[in-house]
């Protein structure tokens, strides 16, 4: 493998047709330049330069190598300029992964203003509720709900999310309001089932310093949280859902919360990204923008 430093020395000598001028331009000694050329010729097994006491010329092999060197070095210089510009200006593709519901309701509405502020960043967003390996799947950063498992990631807290139990006013008019956890057994409790596990998600409630769980039993279950919220709004039964579904419906009078004193502790919503010595501008500005918006 040819050494780029040695190639750049050869290119400078070929360009200047002089060891002295090349050494001056490179900030090297003349002997250092001469030794580098000798090592390159030994490595390739050909003479590259025709030396006389007055001038330095290129051999046929040297001229062929010089033509290639100029293109290689020009390409490297252009690549360095591109990277330097990217380092100074937020630009390029930014890959973001986020939970389906939270991303759709809370993140997507914020992307328009971000795009207007940073038009040279191309957002590539994916939505999934499964665990995503950021490094393995080439994701720049992700939104995560709840406690984090991967300690190798850098974490920036965005906000908190909480489960709330609610139903439509029409449902309460027909069936009454539960006053305790024991009352839930007499209600139609709408269940959420995970897409991958197909298991019903237990409802969680605060009790004293800890939590208790309740497995909802009703005549309907949903694998989509948006459908679960819609079913509750339609009056089909009680549902425990995250606040970013319930809050707006409660404010609009479409849902009424119950057992609020027993709702579980709020969980963190975080931005996570792989540890990196030099964080790219596009990632940094997105992190700063999102934390400011949720603040």
Domain containing residue 224: CATH number: 3.40.190.10
Question: Helices 108-117 and 281-294 sit at what angle, rounded to 10 degrees?
Answer: 130
Half-sphere exposure of 222 (CA within 13 A, CB side): 17
How do residues 203-228 score in pLDDT, each as one tens digit? Answer: 999 988 888 999 998 899 998 888 99
Q: How large a percentage of the chain has pLDDT more than 90?
A: 41
Does 86 score more than 60 pLDDT? Answer: no
Query: Which comes out higher in pLDDT, residue 290 or 130?
Result: 290
- Looking at residue 276, its pLDDT comes to 63
Q: Which of 38, 8, 14 is nearest to 26 (CA)?
A: 8
Say yes or no: 271 and 148 in one domain: yes
Question: Which of the residue ranges 78-87, 140-149, 232-241 would you say has the lowest mean pLDDT?
Answer: 78-87
Question: Helices 19-26 and 4-16 sit at what angle, rounded to 10 degrees?
Answer: 130
| Gap between the Cα atoms of 197 and 185, Å rounded | 24
How do residues 89-124 score in pLDDT, each as one tens digit? Answer: 788 899 999 998 889 989 999 999 999 999 999 999
CB 33 within 8 A of CB 23: yes
Residue that is last in its domain, among 88, 107, 125: 88
Domain holding 116, by residue range, is: 92-160+267-294
Among 71-75, 170-174, 192-196, which range has the highest average pLDDT?
Answer: 170-174
**Dihedral sign of CA atoms 135, 139, 141, 143 in order:** negative
Residue that is last in its domain, among 54, 88, 122: 88
- Looking at residue 224, its pLDDT comes to 87
Residue that is last in its domain, among 41, 56, 88: 88
Distance of CA 41 to the CA centre of its chain: 48
Q: Which of 276, 273, 271, 268 is nearest to 289 (CA)?
A: 271
- Please name the helix (run of DSSP H) or strand (run of DSSP E) that holds residue 70, with its range, or none: helix 60-88
CATH number of domain containing 35? 1.10.10.10
């Amino acid at each position: 493998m040819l050494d780029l430093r040695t190639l750049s020395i050869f290119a400078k000598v070929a360009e200047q047709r002089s060891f002295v001028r090349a050494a001056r331009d490179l900030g090297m000694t003349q002997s250092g330049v001469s030794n580098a050329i000798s090592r390159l010729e030994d490595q390739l097994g050909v003479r590259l330069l025709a030396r006389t006491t007055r001038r330095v010329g290129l051999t046929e092999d040297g001229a062929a190598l010089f033509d290639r060197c100029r293109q290689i070095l020009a390409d490297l210089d252009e690549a360095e300029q591109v990277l330097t510009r990217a380092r100074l200006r937020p630009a390029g593709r930014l890959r973001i992964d986020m939970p389906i519901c939270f991303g759709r309701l809370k993140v997507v509405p914020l992307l328009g203003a971000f795009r207007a502020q940073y038009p040279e960043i191309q957002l590539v967003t994916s939505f999934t509720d499964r665990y995503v390996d950021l490094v393995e799947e080439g994701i720049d950063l992700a939104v995560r709900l709840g406690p984090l498992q991967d300690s190798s990631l850098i974490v920036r807290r965005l906000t908190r999310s909480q489960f709330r139990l609610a139903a439509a006013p029409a449902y309460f008019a027909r069936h009454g309001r539960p006053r305790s956890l024991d009352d839930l057994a007499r209600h139609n409790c709408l269940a959420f089932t995970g897409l991958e596990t197909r298991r019903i998600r237990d409802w969680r409630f605060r009790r004293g310093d800890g939590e208790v769980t309740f497995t909802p039993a009703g005549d309907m279950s949903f694998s989509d949280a948006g459908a679960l919220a819609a079913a509750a709004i339609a009056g089909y039964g009680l549902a425990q859902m995250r606040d970013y579904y319930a809050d707006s419906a409660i404010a609009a009078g479409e849902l009424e919360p119950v057992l609020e004193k027993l709702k579980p502790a709020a969980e963190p919503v975080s931005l996570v990204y792989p540890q990196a010595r030099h964080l790219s501008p596009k990632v940094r500005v997105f992190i700063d923008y999102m934390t400011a918006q949720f603040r």
